[in-house]
């Protein structure tokens, strides 16, 4: 896309853009059409313009096709699509000009008259199909079979390995396995295979089951750590430009995706943000790599034993400081300088005094950067976001950018001899002034530090002027020292953000996964001290790999006495000894020469040649050439001896340290401090003194204004406030309160922030972890003779610590291969790749992995893990294990039994694991059958015993009644006349009115208000379609009254029930009258929306939510790039990622859960996905709602309501009826335990459980979090990711369980008991999981459900308390209102009338009671009125009658 006003493709005019259209016609093949169209132009407009420009037949239909070579298919633009907007989603290089060679362009082709679209096939795919067709017909030779594991090659040679890698590379398959070693061939372009759906695809899969991928290595390391409880490390090795840094980013992205189970914690967020920050400050463009790491880093992520992230540590090694001041012509300085200069806003450029890149001496030697400006602006925004993720606040970022600007200005400092006297004149003045302002140092001190140096003598200090070369060296040394100190501080700040504060308070066993991204092997045209150290580190890393892959492996085989033929491998121990062997190693000779004042680089070279002239790894050079050659494992490298000594002792000079310590900027003073702990303590002390001074000044000011109110003498204290705050370096902590006054700041700080302050204890802890990294901050002190360790000594110490850490962990290896030396996309250089395969010993590696044994078990480990497959009694483990492996049909060459261990191939171990899984599942099924049979037998015996007892009692009672009747009434009896009172006729009317059902939520709400919240019968549940009958309410009320009355007052129950029924009848008649007179109003339910409601509605079953991209990814809909730190949308179920613009164009169904089925298509209600049972996303399946309502109305007071099981026959009968016609079934005809059993059965038979398989591990990790508040927050965040129908059903179920738990005193069902019963129903593990491991998760699943029940119970109780408080407040307000009315005459009349009314009412109640008591003997004992008019019930319900009449009276008053 280009502007119309620019001669070249630029950005001047944003209204009109240029498109290149390529027609697909036989008339003019290859001709393109350049159109200038507005941004809002649709595809229809572009097609018409292109057809007219090309002179095509306008009567034919045409379509515009968007072609993306990387996607593998093409997209036809709809009539309303805007092609310019599609171009904006392409890579930045393809946006300006989009020729066909770039793989991104628009094509114009003919359409069909019937509206159908003929999709063209990509050129590469079409060529592949044509070649395959020719091979099938015998015209060309058949292509070799593709192998994704080099160990499976039929013929193992260098040519076969190279051919396999080449064949896969051209198919854009850059990953290949060599057993458990991953080989990566750098394509020098982004491939769309790193989206979250790939993370999900490789999660919890055996290594080798799926296509090779870097995510497979991450998953294998993660689950190996959890299963074996052993630390893991992933070692990434390869040349510079082979893709190590990018592989590290992918690994960290995948590991954090695995561990973001409860929620994205601060640690994971900081890890994701630390990568871009470290890359910006530590990476640069080189001849071999556009993003080369100029330092080494080891990221160690710490986990709890359950897999939850605990913290992390970043260790850095040997930053290449010399790149700051000099580098090759085709190379660049560190990325951050270009990001700042090009991406900064105008305000930032003025604030930091920024110039154009070509105006800086430190940047002017590079290639032009105009072509990358748009990308650098984006990277600067990405850097801002990453720094915020790490924890840098705006004031801190300003301090960092000020230091960077000052470093660039130092390069512009120039020298010239003074006209008069000795010494140098430094300038220009504007540069010195800018440096002074940015660093906040005095210009005089700056000039002195740049032109003179101090020398100590026995009695005095001498000030000596620099020569020109010495002055330039001092200037560059200051710049390098500042940048190195800044980089160290950034790493320290990241480590503090990654620190888990609980590590300082308690000792918790932790595991770790370390990812090593160290500088690759380098051989430039000019190699210096940095390449010398870098290549030594690669020698050590190669030796470590050889030890792990070859030496230790073969030694273990020989020690255990199995049959094995040793495989020779290239050993580089001789080259390592050349570097580090005492006392003649090159490093030790370098340190010796660095300590001699008179030594030079020439004398150092002579000593090298003299000591190692006979060493085969040291190659002699001509006498006059200032260089030497070392034969490395990767080939010969020539090193220039120049500046070896100076770079080995490149410490911060004392004059520069003194200058920076004089700065008014406390942040700068902290940067150059040798001990951050001491700097922090001094900062706290200075802040305390400054606070006292401010208080003193405020007190004096107050005393002057109030001279007569002085209660004591003020502190006579003053303080110089010319400097800035001493804690400015810790601005991230205090910046929150920068706009508040001092009093508010101190108050909030004391009460809220003291716990979050960075303290000396945490600093000490971090310093202990990365002490070797801080050694480079050693200073040259004037008053001490002890010199700090040299750079080479520090580097060896840090490398030794790294290797020690790697030896304590189980390694996974990733071998990165550079595909070509020109950074060309998808170009495979056979010679270069073969060279790398040879010096890494890939042939030998594949051979030992192929013939070796990847799985090793001791006899005890084997018997413990595969005990189910072995005989019950193991007498001789070797023989029993051999018999098992032979019985399973494993070939004898695939395993060996040693003296103490069992050696297996990896494929055979997987076969064993699958057999174990099948046997365990078979055993579980047998146990379930046996347990169910025991339960059914027990239930049968219990019911049989009960039936026999009832039969015996019935026979006995029948005989007894017969005898009594015969003795009492010897003659014939006459049926007495049954008297039916008026109460009986009223009862019939009541029963008729009770047939009405509540169908409106408003009616249910009115009923609750009518009862005045005094009778706990109606539990209002917000449902769109309530279906509750008044008979159910009466039944529930009767059971509640009976449970409260007990056996002693059981006779009083009927009268109380009848009284309530009369009240309810009055309400029903009033409600019917209201419905007749008032129009029906339908109100929408006002419900709090969760986070997922804020996201756009997901089409075709998707559930999208916002997703921040941390690494470059591709849109799954349009295959365009999604850049790092941008916002996208991700489906929480199938992990599909796309732009916001692409949401409406999705045509692929969500694979995570089913689509809703059409109404009437499916009549079943059990074993059907929830989304197919509901009409709206926020409704509950009908069968589930019906059963829960029935249980709440009839079974809340039943003991063991969910613990006891009902009759299997009745359950089957009800199950069949509910499946057939759930509307017509009456649950009153079935026992309550039968219904509760079907509730659990309905949940268990769901294809995808209520809390979904995809989130199963997420809920487990949430339960493992150490703090209860973190557990609760993590669980609720994952609930927001459930599909809407699952969420609504789960919400209804938890509400039901809360109601059951509230009646624990009667049903004996606590929250824990309910969680134990329902956790296996709603939170099941996937069927593919190991049953033995899933048994260990029962406690975690139970805890998750129990947390939900307890939290909802707490919310329920809190809401009830709030209602009670409102009622109390209302009563208090009424009482106060009554008291204010007492002085009025009208109020007195009301009081008198009320008193008279109550007196009459009481007399009426007394008369009514006496009348009933007098007429009670007239009623027959066996009549219906005998139960309804019990005198004792009337006496006990007198208060209820009085309350009822009083309430009616109060209604009449208002």
776 is in an annotated binding site: no
3-class DSSP assignment, residue 119:
coil
Sign of torsion over alpha carbons 453, 457, 461, 462: negative
326 is in an annotated binding site: no
CA torsion 1339→1342→1347→1348, rounded to 10°?
160
CB 16 within 8 A of CB 4: yes
CB 357 within 8 A of CB 411: no
Residue 401's nearest CA partner among 392, 391, 414, 389 is 392
243 is in an annotated binding site: yes
CB 107 within 8 A of CB 46: no
Straight-line distance from the first to the last Cα atom of the chain, in angstroms, rounded to the nearest whole number: 76
CB 1314 within 8 A of CB 1365: no
3-class DSSP assignment, residue 89:
coil
CB 448 within 8 A of CB 427: no
743 is in an annotated binding site: no
Angle between the 1256-1263 and 1338-1380 helix axes, to the nearest 10 degrees? 70
The DSSP symbol for 750 reads I
264 is in an annotated binding site: no
Helix, strand, coil in percent for the chain, rounding step 5? 55, 10, 35
For the stretch 729-765, what's the b/e string if a residue is b when 16 or more beta carbons lie within 10 angstroms of its beta carbon? Answer: bbbbbbeebeeeeeeebeeebeeeeeeeebbeebbeb
State how far the Cα of 288 lies from the Cα of 431, in Å rounded to an integer: 34
Radius of gyration of the chain (CA): 42
The DSSP symbol for 1154 reads P
- Beta-carbon contacts of residue 934 (< 8 Å; ≥ 6 apart): none
242 is in an annotated binding site: yes
Cβ neighbours of 1073 (radius 10 Å): 10
Longest dimension (CA), the chain: 154
Angle between the 429-439 and 394-410 helix axes, to the nearest 10 degrees? 150
Residue 1426 token pair: 């005998």
State how far the Cα of 1318 lies from the Cα of 1324, in Å rounded to an integer: 10
Residue 1168 token pair: 């059907």
Residue 1016 token pair: 């706990």
CB 517 within 8 A of CB 251: no
User: In Å, what is the CA distance from 1266 to each residue of 229, 1257, 1269, 1348, 1442?
Assistant: 19, 16, 9, 17, 56
State how far the Cα of 535 lies from the Cα of 521, in Å rounded to an integer: 5
| Strand 1104-1108 with 1028-1029, pairing | unpaired
CB 73 within 8 A of CB 1117: no
| Strand 181-186 with 810-818, pairing | parallel
111 is in an annotated binding site: no
State how far the Cα of 445 lies from the Cα of 463, in Å rounded to an integer: 13
Helix (H) or strand (E) holding 181: strand 181-186
The DSSP symbol for 122 reads P
Paired strand residues for 638? 629
Q: Is 1281 exposed, middle or buried (0-12, 13-18, 19+ CB in 10 A)?
A: buried
Residue 431 — left, alpha, or beta (φ > 0 → left; ψ -120 to 50 → alpha)? alpha
244 is in an annotated binding site: yes
Task: Please state the length of the chain.
Answer: 1454
Annotated binding site: 238-245
Annotated binding site for ATP: 238-245
């Amino acid at each position: 896309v280009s502007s119309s006003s620019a001669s070249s493709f630029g950005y001047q005019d944003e209204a009109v853009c240029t498109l290149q259209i390529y027609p697909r016609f036989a008339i003019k093949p290859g001709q393109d059409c350049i159109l200038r169209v507005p941004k809002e132009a649709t595809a229809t407009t572009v097609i018409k313009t292109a057809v007219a420009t090309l002179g095509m037949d306008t009567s034919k239909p045409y379509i515009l096709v968007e072609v993306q070579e990387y996607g593998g298919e093409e997209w036809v633009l709809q009539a309303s699509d805007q092609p310019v907007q599609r171009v904006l989603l392409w890579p930045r290089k393809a946006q300006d000009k989009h020729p066909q060679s770039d793989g991104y362009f628009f094509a114009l082709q003919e359409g069909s008259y019937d509206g159908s679209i003929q999709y063209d096939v990509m050129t590469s795919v079409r060529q592949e199909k044509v070649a395959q067709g020719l091979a099938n017909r015998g015209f060309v030779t058949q292509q070799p079979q593709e192998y994704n594991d080099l160990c499976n090659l039929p013929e193992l040679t260098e040519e076969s390995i190279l051919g396999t890698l080449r064949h896969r590379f051209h198919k854009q398959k850059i990953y290949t396995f060599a057993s458990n070693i991953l080989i990566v061939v750098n394509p020098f372009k982004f491939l769309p295979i790193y989206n979250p759906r790939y993370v999900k695809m490789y999660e919890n899969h055996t290594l080798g089951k799926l296509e090779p991928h870097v995510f497979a290595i991450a998953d294998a390391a993660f689950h190996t750590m959890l299963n074996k409880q052993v630390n893991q490390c992933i070692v990434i090795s390869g040349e510079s430009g082979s893709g190590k840094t990018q592989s590290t980013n992918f690994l960290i992205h995948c590991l954090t995706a695995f561990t973001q189970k409860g929620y994205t914690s601060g640690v994971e967020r900081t890890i994701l943000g630390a990568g871009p920050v470290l890359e910006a400050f530590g990476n640069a463009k080189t001849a071999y790599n556009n993003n080369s790491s100029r330092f080494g880093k080891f990221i160690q992520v710490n986990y709890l034993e359950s897999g939850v992230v605990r913290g992390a540590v970043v260790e850095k090694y040997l930053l290449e400081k010399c790149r700051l001041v000099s580098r090759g012509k085709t190379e660049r300085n560190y990325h951050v300088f270009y990001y700042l200069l090009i991406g900064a806003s105008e305000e930032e450029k003025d604030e930091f005094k920024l110039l154009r890149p070509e105006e800086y001496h430190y940047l002017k030697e590079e290639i032009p950067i105009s072509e990358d400006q748009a990308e650098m602006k984006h990277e600067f925004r990405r850097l801002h976001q990453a720094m915020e993720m790490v924890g840098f606040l705006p004031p801190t970022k300003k301090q960092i950018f000020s230091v960077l600007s000052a470093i660039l200005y130092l390069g512009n400092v120039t020298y010239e001899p003074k006209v008069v006297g000795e010494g140098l004149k430094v300038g220009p003045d504007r540069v010195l002034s800018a440096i002074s302002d940015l660093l906040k140092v005095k210009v005089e001190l700056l000039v002195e530090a740049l032109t003179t140096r101090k020398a100590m003598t026995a009695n005095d200090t001498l000030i000596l002027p620099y020569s020109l070369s010495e002055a330039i060296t001092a200037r560059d040394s200051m710049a390098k020292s500042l940048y190195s100190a800044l980089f160290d501080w950034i790493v320290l700040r990241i480590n503090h953000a990654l620190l888990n504060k609980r590590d300082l308070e308690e000792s918790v066993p932790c595991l770790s996964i370390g990812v090593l991204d160290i500088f690759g092997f380098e051989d430039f045209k000019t190699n210096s001290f940095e390449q010398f150290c870098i290549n030594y580190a690669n020698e050590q890393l190669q030796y470590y790999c050889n030890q792990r892959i070859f030496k230790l492996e073969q030694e273990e085989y020989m020690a255990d006495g199995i049959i094995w033929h040793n495989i020779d491998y290239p050993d580089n121990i001789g080259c390592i000894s050349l570097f580090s062997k005492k006392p003649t190693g090159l490093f030790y000779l370098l340190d010796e020469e660095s300590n001699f004042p008179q030594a030079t680089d020439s004398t150092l070279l002579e000593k090298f040649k003299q000591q190692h002239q006979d060493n085969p790894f040291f190659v002699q050079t001509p006498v006059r050439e200032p260089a030497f050659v070392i034969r490395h494992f990767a080939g010969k490298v020539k090193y220039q001896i120049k500046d070896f000594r100076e770079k080995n002792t490149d410490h911060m000079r004392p004059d520069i340290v003194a200058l920076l310590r004089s700065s008014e900027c406390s942040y700068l003073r902290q940067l150059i401090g040798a001990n951050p702990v001491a700097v922090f303590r001094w900062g706290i002390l200075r802040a305390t003194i400054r606070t006292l001074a401010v208080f003193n000044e405020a007190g004096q000011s107050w005393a002057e204004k109030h001279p007569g109110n002085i209660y004591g003498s003020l502190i006579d204290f003053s303080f110089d406030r010319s400097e800035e705050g001493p804690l400015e370096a810790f601005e991230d902590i205090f910046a929150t309160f920068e706009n508040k006054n001092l009093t508010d700041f101190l108050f909030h700080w004391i009460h809220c922030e003291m716990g979050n302050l960075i303290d000396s204890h945490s600093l000490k802890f971090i310093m202990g972890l990365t002490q070797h990294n801080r050694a480079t901050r050693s200073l040259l002190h004037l008053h001490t003779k002890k010199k700090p360790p040299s750079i080479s000594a520090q580097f060896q110490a840090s490398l030794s610590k790294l290797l020690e850490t790697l030896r304590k962990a189980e390694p996974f290896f990733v071998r990165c291969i550079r595909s070509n030396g020109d950074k060309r996309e998808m170009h495979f250089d056979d010679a270069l790749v073969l060279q790398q395969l040879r010096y890494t010993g890939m042939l030998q590696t594949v051979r030992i992995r192929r013939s070796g044994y990847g799985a090793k078990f001791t006899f005890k480990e084997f018997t413990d893990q595969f005990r189910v497959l072995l005989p019950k009694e193991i007498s001789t483990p070797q023989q029993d294990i051999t018999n098992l492996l032979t019985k399973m049909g494993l070939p004898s060459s695939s395993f060996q039994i040693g003296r103490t261990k069992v050696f297996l191939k990896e494929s055979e171990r997987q076969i064993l694991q699958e057999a174990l899984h099948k046997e365990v599942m078979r055993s579980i099924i047998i146990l379930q059958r046996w347990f169910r049979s025991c339960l059914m037998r027990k239930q049968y015996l219990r019911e049989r015993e009960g039936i026999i007892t009832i039969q015996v009692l019935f026979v006995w009672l029948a005989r007894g009644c017969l005898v009594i009747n015969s003795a009492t009434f010897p003659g014939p009896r006459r049926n007495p006349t049954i008297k039916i009172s008026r109460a009986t006729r009223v009862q019939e009317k009541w029963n008729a009115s009770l047939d009405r059902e509540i169908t409106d939520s408003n009616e249910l709400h009115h009923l609750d208000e009518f009862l005045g919240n005094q009778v706990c019968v109606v539990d209002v549940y917000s449902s769109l379609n309530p279906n509750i009958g008044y008979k159910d309410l009466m039944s529930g009320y009767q059971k509640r009254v009976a449970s409260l009355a007990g056996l002693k007052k059981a006779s009083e129950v009927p009268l109380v029930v009848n009284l309530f029924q009369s009240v309810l009848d009055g309400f029903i008649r009033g409600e019917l009258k209201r419905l007749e007179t008032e129009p029906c109003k339908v109100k929408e339910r006002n419900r709090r929306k969760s986070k997922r409601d804020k996201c756009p509605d997901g089409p075709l079953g998707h559930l999208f939510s916002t997703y921040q991209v941390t690494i470059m990814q591709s849109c799954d809909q349009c295959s365009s790039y999604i850049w790092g730190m941008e916002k996208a949308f991700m489906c929480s179920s199938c992990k599909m990622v796309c732009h916001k613009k692409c949401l409406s164009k999705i045509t692929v169904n969500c694979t995570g859960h089913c689509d809703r089925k059409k109404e009437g298509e499916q009549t079943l209600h059990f074993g059907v996905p929830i989304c197919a049972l509901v009409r709206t996303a926020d409704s509950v399946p009908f069968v589930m709602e019906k059963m829960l309502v029935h249980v709440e109305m009839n079974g809340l007071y039943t003991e063991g309501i969910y613990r006891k099981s009902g009759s299997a026959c009745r359950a089957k009968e009800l199950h069949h009826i509910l499946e057939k016609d759930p509307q017509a079934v009456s649950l009153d005809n079935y026992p309550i335990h039968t219904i509760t059993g079907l509730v659990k059965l309905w949940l268990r038979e769901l294809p995808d459980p209520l809390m979904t398989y995809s989130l199963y591990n997420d809920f487990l990790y949430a339960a493992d979090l150490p703090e209860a508040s973190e557990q609760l927050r993590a669980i609720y965040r994952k609930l927001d990711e459930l599909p809407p129908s699952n969420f609504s059903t789960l919400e209804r179920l938890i509400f039901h369980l809360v109601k059951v738990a509230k009646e624990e005193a009667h049903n004996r069902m606590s929250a824990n008991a309910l969680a134990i019963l329902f956790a296996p129903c709603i939170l099941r593990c996937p069927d593919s999981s190991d049953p033995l491991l899933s048994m260990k998760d029962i406690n975690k699943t139970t805890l998750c459900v129990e947390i939900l029940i307890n939290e909802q119970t707490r919310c329920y109780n809190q809401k009830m308390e709030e209602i009670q408080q409102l009622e109390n407040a209302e009563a208090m307000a009424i009482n106060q209102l009554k008291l204010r009315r007492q002085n009025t005459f009208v109020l007195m009349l009301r009081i008198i009338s009320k008193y008279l009314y109550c007196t009459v009412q009481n007399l009426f109640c007394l008369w009514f009671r006496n009348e009933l008591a007098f007429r009670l003997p007239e009623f027959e004992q066996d009549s219906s009125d005998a139960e309804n008019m019990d005198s004792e019930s009337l006496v006990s319900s007198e208060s209820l009658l009085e309350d009822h009449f009083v309430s009616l009276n109060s209604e009449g008053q208002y």
